[in-house]
Each structure stands twice: as structure tokens, then as C-alpha cells.
Amino acid sequence: MSTRRKIKNAINYIKVYFAIGVSVSILISILLLIIINGLQHLSWDFVFSMDAPRGFSLMPMIVTTAIVVFLTLLISAPLGIGAAIYLNEYASTKSRLVKFVRVSIETLSGIPSIIYGLFGFLFYVIVLGWTWSIQAGIFTVSIMVLPIIIRSSEEALKAVPMSFRMGSYALGAGKFYTIRKVVLPAAMNGIIASIILSIGRLIGETAALLLTAGTLMDMPINLRSSAATLSVFMYTITVEQGDMERAYATAIILMSLVLGLNLMANFIARKIKKG
Amino acid sequence: MIKSISIETKSGTKNETKNNRRIKAIEAITKTLFLVCALVSALTLFLIIFFIFSNGVPAILQVGFWDFVAGRTWAPTHGTTPQFGMLPMLYASAITTFFAFIFGTRIGKWCAIYLAFFCPKKIYKPLKTMVELLGGIPSVLYGFFGVAVILPLIRNNLGGTGNSLLAAVIILTMMILPTVINLSEAALRAVPEHFFEGALALGTTKTEAIFDIVTPSAKGGINGAYILGIGRAVGETMAVIMVAGNVSRMPNTIGDFFSTSTFLTPVRTLTAGIAMEMSYATGLHRDTLFGIGVVLFTIIVSLNLTLAIINRNQTNYAKES
């Protein structure tokens, strides 16, 4: 083998090891930075205290985040799963309508969250006159997570073998009965994974909520009040207040929530793949 | 299921036809219900397009298309003569995305090659999980990492405040990595095994077979990964706001651009412009922000279209299998 080929091979080796080294060290350095500094500044009072001054307890933000996640899923989970069922179980792949729906959903999934925020601000905050409020935030992000839920639910439905459905039809069951009693139970794990994934996305979402739900750090009174979620708080505390100690403590909470949910979704998805 | 069987076996009774009709009605209703779900999901896209364009386009026309897109001064709150030139923001978005693309796609592709061909089985699972976690980290935490680590590094070693084009490029490179890695790996894995084996049989080394035969064959899928990476970089907001410094300025001449300070000056991208000013903008100023939204939206949709065309014209084994 010529020296040139040997050198080229060596360079390619170096490239791939360098690249994987960079990626792994990025993750590890983010994790270490946040864990080490976060634990230092974390305290029971900072997370759970109910009567701390504004911005010195995470409780209002945790409550807001929980409300946003719960109500958003209440809207988009049925809608998304329903759409996935239609696309995978009812629609013929050739129909124009299905193509139209698919292209629209693909496009939605590529739109950056700031555009959703812009739309939510214009439509809910101004046109409908809801002002900066939790409900404006919820309706905005529920559009944002739809493509995620639809896409992964569809994948879960696709993974159910055709023979399941055929068997059910052969026993005389109708279409809806088959979906309800055979297809959905078999696809349930995958659908749950898709929901968990979208919870992670919702907790981490900032730009869309910043423009629609506002940055107020108080405990929300009702759905019309403006309130910050954990990640919006994370932004304001870092940029506008520049308080790194509280930022680290918030970061560790936020990171463990999001990464925990991601790991869970991964775990379930892998279990399905193994079958 | 047993219930429906009994319906079919009991023949000729009035009960049966009644039941059948009920079942048919349920079938029709549920089918329509699922169809409505699908349509509502799809129509939200048009709701978004309608509202952003109906506010943004008139604003662009009022300012004048060329003054808006090619204007060099963004001074929306100036008392007597407000100016709405978004070129500096367009420049900032383009230049940050370009460099993040150069670095991110290279490193991402090599990572994907490592994961697909070089990685020992034992450490594949943990590595793959790590890459997936990297993709799950919210952008505000990337931004925080930038503020806590990257900005001080730049400030102490290169001078300035740290808030700079360079910081934005570094953070964006980190953020597009997982997208590029995951999709490229899928594309590489979808290349038929015999390409690799055929190359080996012709006397190439393993590395040559991977780099010169398999990787070029996966080009379609890898290009798709690149385009999604660009989309992610253009649309990224929070992390960029936190590290880029948010000054709407651009170099005056090409010579200025090639001076070293270009990378150390603060910039403001399209997304940052929208997010920073929306809370206090009113009147025409607010509508021009929707105008920026229109431009951003158009960029993203054209990227998606390019992706669709690439997928149609190039062999993409990942899509075919």
C-alpha cells in the first residue's frame, strides 16, 4: 500500500475519533458544569418555598409549567393521535387529501418555535385580546407539539403488524372496534413514548412561550394571568437579572426534568424495537 | 370481539339489522372524527401563514421591499425618521448559519461514520444515548452554557465582552450536531451491505471502503441531514439571543469583514430581532417584525422544499427501505 493511501487512512481515522470526542465532551461538559455548580446552589427553599420573594422560589414556575404541559397535552394528544389514526388506518396513501395533510404536517414540524410565538402573539394575545396569558401560551405550544405527536404515534401504529388487523376483521369486528381493541393497545407503548417526548419538548420550550405567556414570576391565579414557565424563568434570570447562582440552581432542575423524560422516552422506544 | 361475532351468527332477527345500522353509524362517525383531527392539524399551518403574512406583507410594502430587505439601518424607534432595514439581521443569520453549517456538518458526519462503522458494540448504546440526550437539551440551557462557559473563554482569551458572532457560531455548531449525526447515521446504515463488501473485495481498506464508497452512496440522506441542520440553525432563537450580543450592525466593506474583529463583534439575527423587540414594539414597528417573520418563514419553507427535491432526485436508501 502506498504511503499516500496510508496517510489518507490515518487522517480519516483521526477525523472520526476527533468528531466523536468533540460530541461526547460537549455533552459531558454541559452536564458536569450544571450538576456541579447546580448542586452547590440548590436548596430546598429555593425549589419549594411558598412565601419567598418574587423570583427566589421556583414553585410558581413549577406550577405554571405543570399547568402548561397538562392542558397542552389535553388539547394536542387527542388531536394528534386522532390525526395519526386517520393517516395510518383510514387514508389511502394515494389520496390528494392525505398528501396535503402530510405535507402540511411536515412543514409544521420544520417551523422554528419563534414563528409559533409570533403567530400566538398576533392571534391569541392581540386579535383575540387574551393579553399575555397562560391560555395564549397553551394554545400556541399545542400547535407546536402536534407534529411530534402525530409523527411518532404514526410510527407506533405502523409497527403494529397487519396480521393483527386482519385477524380481528376475520373474527367479524368492525374497523373502529379493531382500532380500539387491537391496534391501539398494541401501539400504546409507542404512543406513550411520543407523549413523554413532547412533555420534554414543552418543558424546554422558551421562545414561543416568552412571546405569548410572558415573564411574570408570580404564582398564576387563573388561565388569564401571565406567568413564566421554568425555561422562560431560566432565560430571564440569566440574561435580564444576570444572577448566575439562581440560574445554576434552576438549570439543574430543568435539565434533570428534560433529560429524565428523554431517557424515559428512549427506553420505551427501544423496548418496542426489540419487540 | 366476541360481541361482534354473536351479531353475525344471529341471522334474520330484527335485532341484527338494528345493531348493524348502529355499528355502521359508529364507523361513519369515528371515521369523520379522525378525519377532522387530521384536517385541523393540517389547517393550523394555514392559520399561521395567514396571520403572519397578512400583517407582515403590508408592512414590507409600506417600508418598500428593497428598503426593507437591503436597508442597512435598523432604527425602528427613531422619533422622526424611523428606519427599517433588516439587512444587518439577514447578514447575521446568514453568517452564523454558514459557519455553524461548515463546522457542524463536518463533525456531525464524521460522528455518524464513527457510530455506524467504527464504534465497538459495547460502547455503541451509551454513545447513541448521549447523542440523543444532546438533541434533547433545551435551547435555553445551551444558551446558559454559552453564558457560563463560552463567553468568559472568549472574553479572557480574545478580548471584548464575549457576546459575539463567534460565540453564536460555537453554540449553533453544538446545537445542530445531534440533528446531523442522527439523520446521517440512519442514511449510512441504509446503504446496502454489498457496497461495502464489494469495495473490500476490490482491495480497498476498511476506511477507504467507508469513506470513498459507502459515504458517497449515502449522499442523499446526508444532504437531507445537512438541510435540517441549516433549518435548525436559522430558526434558533433563545441560545443565540443569550450569547450573540444583539447589536444590529454589519461590516461596511468586504475588507472590514475580513478583519479579525468581525468574529468578536456582537450581532443580532432575524430570530433575535423578533424576540427582543416584540414585547415593546407598536404600530409599524410591530408589523415590520411580522415582516421579518415572513422572511424567516420563507427561508425555512424553501429549505424544506429543497429537501423534498433532493429526496426525489437522489438515491436515498434510508427513505426507500
**Same domain flag for B54 and B151:** no
Interface contacts (A, B; CB < 8 Å):
273
Quick check: B238 and A16 CB within 8 A?
no
| Domain end (from B43, B63, B83) | B63
CATH number for the domain spanning B121: value is 1.10.3720.10
Q: Which residue has the higher pLDDT, A266 or B174?
A: B174
d(CA B300, CA B130): 28
Domain count, chain B: 2
Q: Which residues of B touch A181 (CB under 8 A)?
A: 1
**Same domain flag for B72 and B58:** no
| Substitution target from A17, A36, A115, A131 for chain B, most B beta carbons within 10 A | A115
d(CA B87, CA B65): 12
| Domain end (from B20, B42, B63) | B63
Going residue by residue through chain B (321 aa), what tens digit of pLDDT does each one get?
A: 444 444 444 445 566 678 888 888 888 999 999 999 999 999 999 999 999 999 999 999 998 888 888 888 888 877 778 888 889 999 999 999 999 999 999 999 999 999 999 999 999 999 999 999 999 999 999 999 999 999 999 999 987 788 899 999 999 999 999 999 999 999 999 999 999 999 999 989 999 999 999 999 998 889 989 999 999 999 999 999 999 988 877 777 776 777 767 788 889 999 999 998 888 888 889 999 999 999 999 999 999 888 888 777 766 565 554
Domain boundaries, position B107: 68-320
Q: What is the pLDDT of residue A149?
A: 94
| Domain end (from B63, B93, B108) | B63
* A156 contacts A183 by C-beta, under 8 angstroms: no
Q: What is the pLDDT of residue A214?
A: 86
Contacts of B181 (CB under 8 A, 6+ apart): A23, B108, B111, B112, B115, B131
Which chain A residue lies closest to B142 (C-alpha atoms)?
A30
d(CA B134, CA B107): 14
The CA distances from residue B171 to A22, A27, B76, B140, in Å, are 13, 12, 28, 11
**Same domain flag for B179 and B263:** yes
Q: pLDDT by residue (tens digit) across A77-113?
A: 999 999 999 999 988 777 888 888 888 998 898 899 9
Query: What ipTM did this prediction achieve?
Result: 0.92
Q: Which residues of B touch A171 (CB under 8 A)?
A: 1, 4-5
Q: Which residues of A touch B110 (CB under 8 A)?
A: 15-16, 18-20
Q: pLDDT by residue (tens digit) across A132-150?
A: 999 999 999 999 999 999 9
Domains annotated for chain A, with CATH where assigned, are 44-274 (1.10.3720.10)
Report the SS3 class of residue B75. Answer: strand
Angle at alpha carbon of residue B263, lines to B258 and B266, rounded to 5°: 125
Give A135 to chain B, closest Cα distance, Å.
17
Which pTM value belongs to this model? 0.90
**Same domain flag for B158 and B206:** yes
Q: Among partner residues A12, A100, A121, which is closest to B211 by beta-carbon distance?
A: A12
**Same domain flag for B72 and B56:** no
Instruction: Name which of B232, B243, B285 is nearest B268 in CA terms.
Output: B243
The residue written with cell numbers 399551518 in the block is B45
**Same domain flag for B273 and B149:** yes
Q: Which residues of A touch B111 (CB under 8 A)?
A: 16, 19-20, 22-23
Report the SS3 class of residue B74. Answer: strand
- With a pLDDT cut of 70, the percent of chain A lying above it is 99
**Same domain flag for B83 and B120:** yes
**Same domain flag for B48 and B172:** no
Q: Which residues of A touch B274 (CB under 8 A)?
A: 114, 117-118
Quick check: B137 and A23 CB within 8 A?
no
**Same domain flag for B57 and B83:** no
Q: How many residues does chain A have?
A: 275
Quick check: B51 and A119 CB within 8 A?
yes
**Same domain flag for B86 and B9:** no
Number of neighbours of residue B39 by Cβ within 10 angstroms: 16
**Same domain flag for B222 and B265:** yes
**Same domain flag for B214 and B303:** yes
